[in-house]
């Protein structure tokens, strides 16, 4: 069992503090730099084919794709964006279909970029507008469904600002012809609406493109671009860390599907379950959940189909209790015992869920408090710099808090993972890893809480560094074990 190596424990004992004393601090700075570089190169490896893009870059890239396709297919650029949108911005699949199709016009008609049935063009351009009934100059698309400029403008503005769509159909009901961007822009003159339309275009570009995802960071507005769509860590310029496949915070070791189930379960059930667990019992006959809000222990089930009479204390049938209204001394009664056993089974599932939920929430809560710790540590770092330590030498404290936060996040998601895990040998190893990481994380946390005031800075530094390195090592082991399990398909989930 390589995952559980006793040698790991030597970390905290390695080298006595005396030995490390003087020249240590300089060495250490270098050691830390090297370590950081390692960390960074690792991150680069994982983000090798991941680019963070601003909305200007996205717009540029979108336009480049459009003109590239336009040059190849020889269709107008406005039509290109609509076609690409239809094929989820997958250029290859669009071109394949385009050339495969025996009839180009039929292909374009099916994509709603060429009218299905155009009306014959009227002779005069000035007539009564069908929408506002004013005599005005009318215009329209290739389908010749016409309206006055004011009506077109109002229609497009509603579509853009109310319906929030950048794929707009012709004004005529039933005509599915899509309007080209140039045409939209020629009618819409108000700058805010034009800006909204541009935003909607870029948004539709990102949302439909399988290789792009918006960063979920608040007001970030950047998107990540990858070369294949798969669950992977993305670190945005705004420091958000998220999963490319599902857009949630990076959630290793639990996978996207189970995370979604877990989050849904938590938002649906957690408070309700807590309350049910604390305040109710189930009717021993029909298993309906009952809250006792007063009165004696002689219960009559309100369920019309059941009407069972039972004792709230022992859950046995009421009959043998006779007229004695309270003193239930029938604990060993067999009927009551079976009822309690049945209840235990149904409660056990609830208890199990609450066990994982409470730990998941516990780590999430601690993670939020870690932000406060950053402030404390910052003050301490400044203080240490005044006491003859260099800037580079005090960075270890920040690094320790970074590691702590990472461990908390990982631990948090291990509980979602563990909830769905079936018990087997692998799950036992996992739980051991989890237990160890949790214990050591708590120690590191305690360290940063309480021992920052210790006088001997060199000792403090040594201790903190030993601790965070060990904890990080344990985290690596846990994640590696989970990853290997996924690769070998050896996790058995119970949903």
Partner 1 sequence: MTTPSRRRLMRDFKKLQEDPPAGVSGAPTQDNILTWEAIIFGPQETPFEDGTFKLSLEFTEEYPNKPPTVKFISRMFHPNVYADGSICLDILQNRWSPTYDVAAILTSIQSLLDEPNPNSPANSLAAQLYQENRREYEKRVYQIVEQSWMNFGENEGDMEPKEGEEQGAGDEPAAPSGSN
Q: How far is CA 342 from the centre of its chain?
A: 38
Dist CA 349 CA 331 (whole Å): 24
Q: How far is the CB of 129 from partner 1 (least distance, A)?
A: 10
Cα–Cα distances in angstroms (integers) from residue 28 to residues 18, 32, 182, 457, in the given order: 15, 6, 61, 14
Tokens of 164: 């929030």
Backbone angles phi, psi at 148, to 5 degrees: -80, 165
By beta-carbon proximity to partner 1, the closer residue of 132 and 369 is 132
Nearer to partner 1, 171 or 416 (CB): 171
Give the C-alpha separation, 201 to 149, whole Å.
Answer: 23
Q: Is the peptide bond before 99 cis (omega within 30 degrees of 0)?
A: no
Q: Give which of 124, 175, 117 is closest to 155, Cα–Cα.
A: 175
The residue (of 71 and 134) whose beta carbon lies closer to partner 1 is 134
Terminal alpha carbon distance of the chain: 28
The DSSP 8-state label assigned to residue 493 in this structure reads B
Q: Where are the beta strands (DSSP E) in 77-220?
A: 126-128, 135-140, 146-148, 212-214
Closer of 154 and 285 to partner 1 (Cβ):
154
Cβ 186 to partner 1, closest distance in Å?
19
| 80 in catalytic set | no
Nearest distance, CB of residue 197 and partner 1, angstroms: 17
Closest-CA residue to 149 (of 159, 139, 134, 160): 139
- Least distance (Å) from partner 1 to the CB of residue 158? 5
Q: CA-to-CA distance for 251 and 257, rounded, in angstroms?
A: 11
DSSP 70-106: HHHHT--HHHHHHHHHHTTT-HHHHHHHHHH-S-HHH
Give the Cα separation of 126 and 122 in Å (integer). 9
Residues within the interface to partner 1 (CB under 8 A): 130-134, 145, 147, 151, 154-155, 158, 163, 169, 171-174
CB 166 to partner 1: min, Å: 15
Pull the structure tokens for residue 353. 């869920």
The nearest distance, CB 426 to partner 1, in angstroms, is 44
Minimum distance from residue 127 beta carbon to partner 1 (Å): 14
Q: What does the DSSP 8-state code read for residue 249?
A: B
Q: CB 120: neighbour CB atoms within 10 A?
A: 6
Q: Which one is catalytic: 238, 296, 407, 482?
A: 296
Which is it for the CA torsion 475, 480, 483, 488, positive or negative?
negative
Provide the annotated active-site residues: 296
């Amino acid at each position: 069992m390589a995952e559980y190596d006793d040698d790991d424990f030597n970390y905290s004992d390695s080298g006595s503090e005396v030995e490390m004393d003087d020249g240590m601090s300089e060495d250490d700075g270098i050691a830390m730099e090297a370590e950081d570089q390692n960390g960074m190169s690792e991150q680069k490896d994982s983000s090798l084919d991941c680019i963070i893009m601003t909305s200007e870059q996205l717009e540029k890239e979108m336009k480049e794709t459009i003109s590239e396709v336009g040059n190849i297919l020889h269709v107008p650029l406005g039509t290109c964006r609509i076609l690409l949108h239809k094929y989820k911005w997958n250029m290859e699949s669009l071109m394949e279909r385009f050339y495969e199709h025996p009839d180009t016009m039929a292909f374009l008609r099916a994509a709603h970029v060429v009218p299905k049935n155009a009306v014959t063009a009227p002779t005069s351009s000035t007539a009564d507008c069908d929408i506002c009934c004013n005599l005005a100059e009318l215009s329209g698309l290739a389908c010749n469904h016409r309206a006055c400029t004011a009506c077109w403008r109002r229609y497009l503005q509603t579509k853009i600002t109310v319906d929030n769509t950048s794929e707009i159909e012709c004004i005529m009901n039933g005509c599915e012809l899509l309007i080209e961007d140039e045409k939209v822009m020629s009618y819409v003159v108000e700058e805010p609406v034009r800006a909204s339309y541009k935003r909607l275009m870029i948004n539709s570009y990102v949302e439909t493109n399988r290789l792009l995802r918006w960063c979920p960071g608040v007001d970030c507005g950047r998107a990540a671009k990858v070369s294949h769509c798969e669950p992977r860590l993305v670190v945005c310029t705004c420091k958000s860390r998220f999963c490319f496949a599902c857009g949630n915070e990076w959630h290793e070791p639990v996978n996207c599907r189970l995370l979604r189930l877990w989050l849904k379960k938590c938002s649906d059930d957690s408070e309700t379950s807590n309350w049910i667990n604390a305040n109710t019992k189930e009717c021993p006959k029909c298993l309906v959940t009952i809250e006792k809000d007063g009165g004696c222990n002689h219960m009559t089930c309100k369920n019309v189909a059941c009407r069972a009479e039972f004792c709230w204390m022992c859950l046995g049938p009421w009959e043998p209790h006779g007229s004695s209204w309270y003193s239930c001394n029938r604990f060993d009664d067999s009927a009551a015992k079976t009822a309690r056993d049945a209840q235990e089974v149904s409660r056990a599932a609830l208890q199990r869920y609450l066990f994982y939920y409470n730990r998941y929430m516990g780590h999430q809560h601690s993670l939020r408090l870690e932000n406060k710790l950053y402030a404390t540590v910052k003050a301490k770092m400044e203080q240490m710099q005044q006491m003859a330590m260099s800037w580079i030498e005090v960075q270890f404290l920040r690094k320790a808090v970074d590691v702590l936060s990472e461990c908390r996040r990982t631990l948090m998601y291990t509980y979602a993972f563990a909830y769905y895990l079936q018990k087997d040998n692998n799950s036992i190893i996992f739980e051991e890893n989890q237990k160890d990481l949790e214990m050591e994380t708590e120690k590191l946390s305690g360290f940063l809480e309480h021992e920052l005031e210790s006088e001997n800075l060199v000792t403090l530094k040594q201790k903190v560094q030993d601790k965070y390195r060990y904890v990080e090592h344990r985290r690596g082991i846990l994640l590696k074990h989970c990853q290997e399990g996924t690769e070998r398909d050896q996790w058995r989930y119970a949903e």
